[in-house]
Amino acid sequence: SDTNTLHVAILPSSGMGHLVPAVRLAASLAARNCRITFITTHPTVSLAESRLVSRLVSFFPNVTRQEFHLLPLDRSTANSNDPFCLQFETIRRSAHLLSPILSSCSPPLSALVTDPSLVSAVIPITEKLRLANYNLFIASPKMLSLLIYFPTIANTDLSTTSSKTTDYIEIPGIPPLPKSWLPPPLVDPSSLFRTQFIANGQEIVKSDGILVNAFDSLDKATVAALNGGKVMGRLPPVITVGPFVPLEFEKGSPVEWLDRQPVGSVVYVCFGNRTAASREQIRELGDGLERSGCRFLWVVKEKKVGEIVGHGFLERVKEKGLVVKSWVEQGEVLAHPAVGLFLSHCGWNSITEAALYGVPILGWPQGGDQKINGEVIPKSGLGIWVETWGWEEIVKGEEIGDKIREMMGDEKLKVQAARIGEEARKSVGVGGSSYKGLEGLVEKMRK
Ligand code: BUP
């Protein structure tokens, strides 16, 4: 009956990397008979984002979409050129408009689940409404410990020097973290991202629980340090609920080309929604793929792909490689038996999806949280990250090709990755740790 219905609102931030996990969480809760109000910001949601939310809503009758109209942002008071960071700020400064939306939900809400980039703006609202506030953390457990601890060290010297001992930051309970892994805007004292990060770090500790899209194979030690009070005392419970499983309704048109490739023969290459590569680096990557001699599916987020990689290249590799410039449903690609390696930018969703399907990763992190996320790849045994590969100095095709060939021939790595995939599926399966995490969450929200 209605009195027993648990009603939860979910407010993700902007960008696919934020929306995808929020949609998957919504689906997990909806499948457990919760009523979900899924709040989307307006204007700004991209077409891809809007389509995903529409699919969620049409798949689950107990999920409804609620539009949240944002106030225009005064750019002169927001020091950033990053459209995502500016969008976070727009949402943050409109947060007071959430109150009437949240309080008019029927049946009354039991909780709001929000995003780490919005937490400090939303906590005062939920406190006033006496509404439980949960955070869906969308990056790695290591990144979570950085967010929580950063306010304590924000005013220390974070720049990298030549002296080895000071090139690390010390977060209690976890191994030292190289300063060079920090998201670059955190080191710039005037950046908007840093201001938000500090505020969010200070406030996230006031939430009722933090959900992370992780499981034992993906940094159990850091989750234990967080929950054991080692990073900081009196933290909310950190609940592992991952890896989130791509949903049936996310499926687009399948890449049929994959069906014609032998098992484990294809390198899948994708650097996420926002990683920028120079034309020269894109060309070297193409050269590397060709030299590897392996089959490949390469997502190049550029309008003029042919012009960049060269029409000659496309002609030469057409038997072995498929270059696409549009969105592919990555979950479906990684689940495909033909895929044997993932060359990835180390977005957290990408890492967890590869883990779920037991696909080895060759990590090539760029900025943002990608290096701190990418640490789990060598640590878990899921793959490697060539630390000498940056994005400023061009990495030559020859080196890329050699690395790909070496990894594609590494039988031990395949076995390790497959084992991680089994553990991942066990975690989310009935009775697994993440399954229990979600069940416990629903119980807690009901109280
Ligand atoms: Br691109 C692309 N298809 O073609 P991350 C991405 N995705 O399904 P982010 C596709 O988007 P940053 C595509 O499966 C994942 O769930 C992918 O999230 C999906 O990286 C999501 O991996 C991308 O966290 O970059 O957000 O693009 O690290 O800069 O936040």
Across residues 397-418, what is the average pLDDT?
98
Torsions phi, psi of 8, nearest 5?
-125, 135
| Ligand 1 pocket, Cβ-based, cut-off 6 angstroms | 15-17, 20, 270, 272-274, 299, 327-331, 347-350, 353, 368, 370
The per-residue pLDDT for 398 is 98
The per-residue pLDDT for 3 is 52
81 DSSP assignment: -
Atom of ligand 1 nearest to the CA of 350: 22
How is 300-340 classified by DSSP, letter by letter? Answer: ---TTHHHHH-HHHHHHHTTTEEEE-S---HHHHHHSTTEE
For residue 273, pLDDT over 60 is answered with: yes
Regarding predicted confidence, which is higher, 252 or 232?
Answer: 232
Across residues 179-197, what is the average pLDDT?
95
Whether 410 is catalytic: no
For residue 62, pLDDT over 70 is answered with: yes
- Selected catalytic residue, list 18, 219, 336, 345: 18
Ligand 1 center from residue 323 Cα (angstroms): 17
What span, in angstroms and rounded, lies between the C-alpha atoms of 164 and 233?
Answer: 29
- Write the burial class of residue 233 (CB in 10 Å: 0-12 exposed, 13-18 middle, 19+ buried): exposed
Ligand 1 center from residue 347 Cα (angstroms): 7
The per-residue pLDDT for 160 is 83
The per-residue pLDDT for 245 is 97
Regarding predicted confidence, which is higher, 236 or 2?
Answer: 236
For residue 144, pLDDT over 60 is answered with: yes
What span, in angstroms and rounded, lies between the C-alpha atoms of 49 and 19?
Answer: 7
What span, in angstroms and rounded, lies between the C-alpha atoms of 228 and 173?
Answer: 9
Ligand 1 center from residue 342 Cα (angstroms): 13
Average pLDDT of every residue of the chain: 95
For residue 114, give both structure tokens.
């929000």
Ligand 1 center from residue 110 Cα (angstroms): 30
For residue 290, pLDDT over 50 is answered with: yes
Amino acid in the structure at residue 134: Y
Atom of ligand 1 nearest to the CA of 331: 14
What span, in angstroms and rounded, lies between the C-alpha atoms of 150 and 422?
Answer: 34
What span, in angstroms and rounded, lies between the C-alpha atoms of 314 and 201?
Answer: 47
Across residues 187-214, what is the average pLDDT?
97
pLDDT in tens, 353-362: 999 999 999 9
pLDDT in tens, 301-345: 888 888 988 889 999 999 999 999 888 999 999 999 999 999 999
pLDDT bracket for residue 171 (50, 70, 90) = very high
For residue 1, pLDDT over 60 is answered with: no
| Predicted-assembly ipTM surpassing the 0.90 threshold | yes
What span, in angstroms and rounded, lies between the C-alpha atoms of 10 and 112?
Answer: 6
pLDDT above 70 as % of the chain? 98
DSSP β-bridge partners for residue 363? 344, 385
Alpha helices in 6-115 (DSSP H): 16-31, 47-59, 83-93, 98-103
110 DSSP assignment: S
Taking every pair of Cα atoms in the chain, the longest distance, rounded to a whole number of angstroms, is 65
The per-residue pLDDT for 163 is 66
| All residues at 6 or more sequence positions from 202 whose CB lies less than 8 Å from its CB, including other chains | 120, 151
Angle at 340 between CA 303 and CA 293, to 5 degrees: 70
Across residues 56-71, what is the average pLDDT?
97
- With the most atoms of ligand 1 within 8 angstroms of its CB, the residue from 330, 357, 370 to mutate is 330
Across residues 87-114, what is the average pLDDT?
97
pLDDT above 90 as % of the chain? 89
Alpha helices in 154-278 (DSSP H): 192-204, 220-227
Asked if 66 and 96 count as a contact pair (C-beta separation under 8 A), the reply is no
pLDDT in tens, 374-407: 999 999 999 999 999 999 999 999 999 999 999 9
Across residues 163-179, what is the average pLDDT?
89
What span, in angstroms and rounded, lies between the C-alpha atoms of 204 and 182?
Answer: 19
Task: Give me the half-sphere count of Cα atoms (radius 13 Å) on the Cβ side of residue 300.
Answer: 25
What span, in angstroms and rounded, lies between the C-alpha atoms of 349 and 333?
Answer: 14
3-state secondary structure of 107: coil
pLDDT in tens, 18-36: 999 999 999 999 999 999 9
What span, in angstroms and rounded, lies between the C-alpha atoms of 387 and 407?
Answer: 16
Q: Which helix (H) or strand (E) holds 407?
A: helix 397-408
What span, in angstroms and rounded, lies between the C-alpha atoms of 443 and 447?
Answer: 7
The per-residue pLDDT for 262 is 98
- Write the burial class of residue 378 (CB in 10 Å: 0-12 exposed, 13-18 middle, 19+ buried): middle
Whether 2 is catalytic: no
